[in-house]
Amino acid sequence: MGKKVVVTGVPGVGKTTVINGAMERLAAEGIAYETVNFGTFMFEAARRENLVTDRDEMRKLGKDVQKRLQKEAAAGIAAMSGDANVIIDTHSSVKTPAGFLAGLPEWVLRELMPDIVVLVETDPDQILMRRLGDPSRTRDMEGSRAIAQHQEFNRAVAAAYAMYTGCTIKIVRNEDFLLEQGIDDLVSVLR
């Protein structure tokens, strides 16, 4: 049975950047992993239904619609992942207009049963600057304090994921100028 590793972090913390670096390192060592982006699974379904035209619109959809898309994505990912080692790029929680929505509620955890949940974090000021420097995305306008609160909530809800599945929780720091250190930390749990 392969390892299932869920990698999470607030938008713009750099989780995809750290995952890509770790994948290159592991490929060089001959360790095979597949990566799956949970948001892309949801987005493809949402676009087919003409619900959104941009992935950043999804977190503004009604709560029940987001939950349905979430459930479909979890089932799709579980069906395709089989026995392979898989990294699932997603969110511990999603900030919606109605409040924080758990990224891995019980019906998602039951499908994925992760071995490890990784929280990619860094200082809120750095995340704010990364968001401002990325014109390709429609980021929510929020300050450092709100980003800090989102990171705190992500830790709290991750504790519930550990209680439910017995998975471990790994915190990986992805600080400015220290990307390689973040990649090293992620690689150490993926090996």
Provide the binding-site residues for ligand AP5, judged by CB under 6 A: 9, 11-17, 37-39, 42, 55, 58-59, 66, 70, 89-91, 94, 103, 130, 134, 137, 174, 176, 179
Q: Which is nearer to ligand AP5, 30 or 167 (CB)?
A: 167
105, 108, 112, 117 alpha-carbon torsion, rounded to 10°: -30
Cα–Cα distance measured from residue 154 to residue 142, given in angstroms and rounded to the nearest whole number = 17
The C-alpha atoms of residue 118 and residue 87 are separated, in whole angstroms, by 10
For residues 118 and 5, is the Cβ–Cβ distance under 8 A?
Answer: yes
Nearest distance from residue 138's CB to ligand AP5, in Å? 9
The residue among 23 and 42 lying less far from ligand AP5, judged by its C-beta, is 42
Q: Determine if residue 10 is labeled as part of a ligand binding site.
A: yes
Give, for 170, the enclosing helix (H) or strand (E): strand 168-173
Minimum separation from the CB atom of position 166 to ligand AP5 (A):
20
Nearer to ligand AP5, 152 or 180 (CB): 180
Binding-site residues from annotation for ATP: 9-17
